[in-house]
Amino acid sequence: MPSLSAFLRLTGAGWALVRADALIPREVEPQLPPAAKLAGRLLRMFAGGAAKRGRPGQRLADVLEKQGPAAIKMGQFLSTRADIFGTAFAEDLAHLKDRLPPFPLAIAEAEIQRNLGRPLGEIYAEIGEPVAAASLAQAHPAVLLDGRKAAVKVLRPGVERQVARDSAVLRLAARLAEQLAPASRRLKPTEFVEVVIRALDLEMDLRFEAAGCAELGEAMATDPYMRAPLVCWEGVGKRVLTLTWAEGVALSDPAALELPGLDRKALAENITRGFLAQALDHGLFHADLHEGNLFVAAPSAVTAVDYGIIGRLGPGERRYLAEILYGFLNRDYARVAKVHFDAGYVPAHQDVDAFAQALRAVGEPVFGRNAREVSMGRLLAQLFEITALFDMALRPELVLLQKTMVTVEGVARRIDPTHDLWAAADPVVRRWIGRELSPAAKARDFAEEALRAIKALARLAEAPPPAPVVVAERQHSWPLLWFLVGAATAGAAFVTGLLLAPHPPL
């Protein structure tokens, strides 16, 4: 049963949005249908003085900042989609990324020393005032004893209690949505919320973030698109994280896009390709790529920070993602539709040809057009209509991937308004397809299966007989057993020859 405090906090958040005219703001009334216009006017009867001050984004940012970490995370996500909500709205929410009120340096130093169990002087030559403050933690510049410049991240005092309260409110909101709006059940709000809460819980232990940064940094190093700082393990604890300093300027700083020599097109492509290479090639990706977590330097270097949320994909999800993207790149809607059915994203009772037709209706108007000419809001609305028409349910295991893809495209388009997501994705997707679905790759997979079969048969042959009667039976099976081993060996040799032989590209 939901607690009274969760209900009161949810009610309070709704009331705060109404009082600030941030729920259905008056500025958007001309674009709304009649029912929504009426609802907005009724709600504004209860608006307070704050409703008369500032733009809609400013009013919403003020409310979200007071509601706690989960609400701030939502504001960060909205701030990346200037192409949907407008530039002014996105900029008004931008301060939620890394410009929240900091807590004093003295409190941070005491927390660092307590958490690491060592005097500060044994690890750092100096620690400075905070340079960035977000919903969960803040960052301080520091110098290590070996002279390297570093960034020290410290969790906010009492943030764990705030997140626990936010989690209770999110769970209550999800349950109410399912009960009061049956249409929302297709989106599985309860499961969606649990994914968000799990991600927030992991962010509360900075040792996990250190491990994620190290692991993802190794993956990033295999491509030129994006980099990660190095972990300074002697400065890592549950509530403290020390990384080498990220060179460049945070994208959340308006000066970042005015750097001399900056190549905006290449920078936007590096961010898109960096994310896709992580997800497809390695099965793990940075799942919080908003502007406050990206540092850039001319001409197009990108360093990502804040590895509190790491997304992971299994081999099946990676293959489905690559094939869907590849199908769209080639405008092969029948293939895209089939992959959706194979993956279980669309119920089997639906018509695959009709779904392919619906995908064509979405894709064709987008290809070949300048990004400025494409309304992302209208495109997303059309996609949502299609998911409803074909009974497509939200896949909670893919929530982080979907959320990050939307964020990455928003960031890239803010850097380069003409950014073409499909063109940027093309080399990464084709590389994966060529490596994983080529004839050589299929032959390699067959060879691996054959070798596994050989090992299994060998273990079976070497196993001691449990009883005389079984021995007699096995003695009669030796010819068949060795025939299978020989056949598997021959098959492996044949496949190895295929692997070594030249083959045409895809």
Delimit the domains of the chain by residue range.
4-98, 160-200, 312-436, 439-500
8 A C-beta contact, residue 245 and residue 151:
yes
Looking at the predicted structure, is the pLDDT value of residue 428 above 70? yes
Looking at the predicted structure, is the pLDDT value of residue 493 above 50? no
**HEC readout, 163-205:** HHHHHHHHHHHHHHHHHHCHHHHHHCHHHHHHHHHHHHHHHCC
Concatenating the DSSP letter of every residue in 295-330 gives EEETTTEEEE---S-EEE--HHHHHHHHHHHHHHHT
Could you tell me how far CA 67 lies from the centroid of its own chain? Answer: 23
d(CA 71, CA 243): 27
Please choose, from the candidates 96, 99, 105, 103, the residue with its C-alpha nearest in 3D space to the C-alpha of residue 141: 105
User: 């009120």: which residue's tokens?
Assistant: 101
Lowest-pLDDT choice from 144-158, 215-229, 399-413: 399-413
DSSP letter, residue 364: T
Which of 166, 288, 306, 420 is flagged as catalytic? 288
8 A C-beta contact, residue 258 and residue 297:
no
More confident residue, 20 or 275: 275
Looking at the predicted structure, is the pLDDT value of residue 503 above 60? no
Note the pTM of the prediction, 2 decimals. Answer: 0.73
pLDDT band at 378 (very low <50, low <70, confident <90, very high): low
More confident residue, 262 or 46: 262
8 A C-beta contact, residue 14 and residue 180:
no
Inter-CA distances, 434 with 316, 322, 442, Å: 17, 11, 11
8 A C-beta contact, residue 99 and residue 132:
yes
What b/e readout covers 85-95, taking b as 16+ CB neighbours within 10 angstroms? Answer: bbeebbbbbbb
pLDDT number for residue 371? 60
Looking at the predicted structure, is the pLDDT value of residue 436 above 50? yes
pLDDT number for residue 384? 65
Strand partners, 297: 301
> What is the per-residue pLDDT across 222-269, written as a single tens digit (0 to 9) for each?
999 999 999 999 999 999 999 999 999 999 888 999 999 999 999 999
More confident residue, 197 or 358: 358
Looking at the predicted structure, is the pLDDT value of residue 491 above 70? no
What order of strands is seen across the sheet that includes strand 294-297? 249-250, 294-297, 301-304
Q: What integer is the mean pLDDT of 186-206?
A: 81
Tell me the percentage of the chain whose pLDDT exceeds 70: 80
The average confidence (pLDDT) of the chain is: 81
User: 């997303």: which residue's tokens?
Assistant: 380
pLDDT number for residue 187? 66
Does residue 288 have an active-site annotation? Answer: yes
pLDDT number for residue 95? 67
Inter-CA distances, 499 with 87, 184, 441, 442, Å: 52, 50, 8, 9
> What is the per-residue pLDDT across 12-43, written as a single tens digit (0 to 9) for each?
888 888 888 887 888 877 777 788 788 888 88
pLDDT number for residue 481? 40
8 A C-beta contact, residue 140 and residue 108:
yes
pLDDT number for residue 441? 60
Looking at the predicted structure, is the pLDDT value of residue 216 above 70? yes
pLDDT number for residue 351? 94
- Residue 59 tokens, joined: 């009013």
Tell me the percentage of the chain whose pLDDT exceeds 90: 34
Q: Which of 305-309, 368-372, 454-458 is the most confident on average?
A: 305-309
pLDDT number for residue 474? 42
8 A C-beta contact, residue 371 and residue 420:
yes
- Strand 294-297 relative to strand 249-250: parallel, antiparallel, unpaired? antiparallel
Looking at the predicted structure, is the pLDDT value of residue 388 above 80? no
pLDDT band at 475 (very low <50, low <70, confident <90, very high): very low
pLDDT number for residue 201? 84
8 A C-beta contact, residue 169 and residue 70:
yes
> What is the per-residue pLDDT across 159-174, written as a single tens digit (0 to 9) for each?
988 888 888 888 888 8
User: 């977000």: which residue's tokens?
Assistant: 134
User: 């273990």: which residue's tokens?
Assistant: 459
Please choose, from the candidates 212, 200, 240, the residue with its C-alpha nearest in 3D space to the C-alpha of residue 307: 212
> What is the per-residue pLDDT across 121-142, written as a single tens digit (0 to 9) for each?
999 999 999 998 888 899 999 9
For residue 13, the one-letter residue type is: A
8 A C-beta contact, residue 310 and residue 286:
yes
Q: Which bin fits 25, alpha (ψ -120 to 50), beta or left (φ > 0)? A: beta
Cβ contacts of 228-235, under 8 Å, gap ≥ 24: 228/303, 228/304, 228/305, 228/307, 229/151, 229/303, 229/305, 232/144, 232/148, 232/150, 234/123, 235/112, 235/116, 235/123, 235/124, 235/144, 235/150, 235/152
pLDDT band at 416 (very low <50, low <70, confident <90, very high): very high
Cβ contacts of 24-33, under 8 Å, gap ≥ 24: 25/56, 25/59, 26/51, 27/55, 27/56, 28/56
DSSP letter, residue 242: E
For residue 482, the one-letter residue type is: W
pLDDT number for residue 434? 87
Looking at the predicted structure, is the pLDDT value of residue 480 above 50? no
Q: How many residues does the chain have?
A: 506
d(CA 207, CA 235): 10
**3-class SS at 452?**
helix
Looking at the predicted structure, is the pLDDT value of residue 439 above 70? no
pLDDT number for residue 445? 58
8 A C-beta contact, residue 251 and residue 415:
yes
pLDDT number for residue 151? 97
d(CA 79, CA 93): 5
Looking at the predicted structure, is the pLDDT value of residue 150 above 90? yes
Looking at the predicted structure, is the pLDDT value of residue 292 above 60? yes
pLDDT band at 212 (very low <50, low <70, confident <90, very high): very high
Maximum Cα–Cα distance across the chain:
92
> What is the per-residue pLDDT across 90-125, written as a single tens digit (0 to 9) for each?
778 876 766 788 999 999 999 999 999 999 999 999
- Residue 245 tokens, joined: 């300093």
8 A C-beta contact, residue 222 and residue 128:
no
